[in-house]
Amino acid sequence: MTQLNTPYPSTAYLTGFLRSRGVHAVQEDLALALVLRLLSSTGLESVRDQIEADSERTPSPIVRNFLEQFDHYLATVDRVIAFLQGRDSTLAHRINSRVFLPEGSRFDALEAHADSEEEEEGGDSLGWAFGALGVQDRAKHLATLYLSDLANVLREAIDPRFEFVRYAESLAASQQTFDPLADALAAPPNLVDRNLRELTLAAVDRHQPNVVLVSVPFPGCVYAAFRIAQTIKATHPDIITVLGGGFVNTELRELTEPRVFDFFDYITLDDGERPLLALLEYLRGERPQAQLVRTFVRTDDSGTDGPGSVQYIHHPEPDVPFAEVGTPTWDGLPIDQYLSTLDMLNPMHRLWSDGRWNKLTVAHGCYWKKCSFCDTTLDYIGRYEGVAASTLVDRIEAVVQETGQTGFHFVDEAAPPKALEGMAEELLRRNVQISWWGNIRFEKSFTPELCELLAESGCIAISGGLEVASDRLLKLMKKGVSVEQVARVTKAFSDAGILVHAYLMYGFPTQTVQDTVDALEYTRQLFEEDCIQSGFFHRFTCTVHSPVGLHPEEYGVELVPLPTVSFAKNDVDFIDPTNVDHDSLGVAINKALYNFMHGVCLDADIRSWFNEKVPRSRVARDFIAQAISEQQSS
Ligand code: SF4
């Protein structure tokens, strides 16, 4: 479960790579299939049947509303899905009527807003966001609220862990032992589990695989991945199952839990290409087990009755160079069935959920790799490798040819300015027309001229880290940018017509209340001056792979010792003598940011978001406007 609008790229990369090496490889997206099955008329009927069969539970108000309006949901769900898949655009007019769809609690926010708008100006409830036009967007937003209502029903009636993009995350994220996940997997399957089981068996039947590779990018994919493997092992014990992906690369590096191997035969770390080639050779009898690459296996420990023990095998071999990993392929994925949803009414924010983007990377790893909060010691960040612009544009052209779609999301850690410049020039030279967006560092080489060039080549949006908008903390975190520089660079992007999203952070070691107030004031000014159009405040988390986690004393904090870890290891608590209540500050700054993103309350006194006792930041005042005017005059 990652996102509904576009496939996660790892399977496309590995399928393309394996095929380029002569391996017969196919791919499936069971997450999308599961959502489409649950959100269908037959899916909703099974949800209703399940609720009615569960006579011991009193339905919550959300579930009661679903049952009362069930016929209405049944009559509309397949149509709404077709609309969000882009297959039935004229339905927008009926959706916008506000009588076509049944409405649950997720629509309440609209009513609250409508009341205040109508009191002030008179007008319809979504006019403030979409104006008189925007028929499709307005309908997409209403249809998204409808899906969210159905997700609430699934959560309250079937499985409290259900989320579209983060299913049962807490069972895996930084879970030191396998016990919670093992208990969940031993529980009788619920309706969601049973559907996933049927989909797994159907996929196995379709492809008759010898080996199944399961990619888990995030903790919210782990539970379902293990359910998939559990089904395969129970029904087709001869199929080899292999686990890999971002979650494994980050959190399972110190795995010692043998029970994991009841589900997966092999677990590979970091980029999958080389370990998988080695594993396939081993399975074909072409190399000994001792020559596996970055792979966990379970040893038998013959003579004992226990579950065996875990062995990590790494025969050092160079990774496949980024230039030779081949072109990803989406072949086999139902690219016309992904759902474009519109939750946030912010033009930048919607890119994450709206539209099907081909995902590519400009380079492997991060060329900067210094930020002290970042997992710089891990291979996917720490090993930087570029590729020639011509190779990159060859890949882009091949992907457009295959998918027929020209939108690209570059999912780099931070794409280097030089590489983006080379790619833009090559796109223009070949007259290749695409739209693209991606992640960067706000560094000074992004001049207004370069931003213009990137816009000309199809760049529509960029995101980058402003983190804690405080020069003292930016220096401490080795971000390599200053607030002033971020203001200039973001303004240059915005002036070129490129949307800008800022990743923001709070709760960094030694961050004071005043730092947080200042950071919010800087952020407000960046919105006011149209430097950024969107942002997100993440709470700082110390991870064991980051410089802060490795050298806490350099950041003025002390780590809380972790208990013995046999399963997932990532987050680590720390003691910060500054002792600030970041939780309550977080509520204030997120509320403020939400308003800023909708262009609301930009003129409100920054103190109004906080407790009155918090002093207003004087330092931050009018800083951004000054930085920009200096840029314009230079
Ligand atoms: S935070 Fe971004 S720019 Fe900094 S090291 Fe990590 S990937 Fe690179």
One-letter amino acid for residue 87 of the chain? R
Q: What is the pLDDT of residue 626?
A: 58
Query: Which has the closest alpha carbon to 51: 162, 155, 167, 165?
Result: 155
Residue range 156-183: mean pLDDT, rounded: 90
Contact 296, 283 (CB under 8 A): no
| Confidence check: pLDDT of 615 > 80 | no
Give the distance (Å) from ligand 1 centre to CA of residue 468: 14
| Confidence check: pLDDT of 122 > 60 | no
Give the distance (Å) from ligand 1 centre to CA of residue 461: 18
Ligand 1: residue of 362, 364, 369, 481 to mutate (most ligand atoms within 8 A of CB) is 369
| pLDDT per position as a tens digit, 30-66 | 999 999 999 999 999 999 999 999 878 888 999 999 9
Give the distance (Å) from ligand 1 centre to CA of residue 338: 30
* Segment (H or E) for 500: strand 499-506
CA-to-CA separations, 495 to 78, 332, 452, 455, 515, in angstroms, rounded: 42, 40, 8, 10, 29
Q: What is the pLDDT of residue 128?
A: 61
Ligand 1: residue of 361, 373, 376, 474 to mutate (most ligand atoms within 8 A of CB) is 376
* Segment (H or E) for 44: helix 41-53
Q: What gap in Å lies between CA 518 and CA 506, rounded to an integer? A: 11
Q: What is the pLDDT of residue 620?
A: 47
CB contact burial 388-397 (16+ within 10 A = b; e otherwise): ebeebbebbe
Give the distance (Å) from ligand 1 centre to CA of residue 377: 11
Q: What is the pLDDT of residue 124?
A: 57
Which residues, judged by CB distance below 6 Å to any ligand atom, belong to the binding site of ligand 1? Answer: 366, 368-371, 374, 376, 381, 413-414, 441, 465
Q: Which carries the bigger pLDDT value, residue 180 or residue 343?
A: 180
Ligand 1: residue of 364, 366, 383 to mutate (most ligand atoms within 8 A of CB) is 366
Q: What gap in Å lies between CA 580 and CA 29, rounded to an integer? A: 43
Give the distance (Å) from ligand 1 centre to CA of residue 478: 10
| Confidence check: pLDDT of 624 > 70 | no
State the closest ligand 1 atom to the C-alpha of 373, by its place in the atom list counted from 1. Answer: 1
Q: What gap in Å lies between CA 458 and CA 446, rounded to an integer? A: 16
Give the distance (Å) from ligand 1 centre to CA of residue 514: 25
| pLDDT per position as a tens digit, 494-533 | 999 999 999 999 999 999 999 999 999 999 999 999 999 9
Q: What gap in Å lies between CA 252 and CA 264, rounded to an integer? A: 13
pTM surpassing 0.75? yes
User: DSSP letter at 294?
Assistant: S
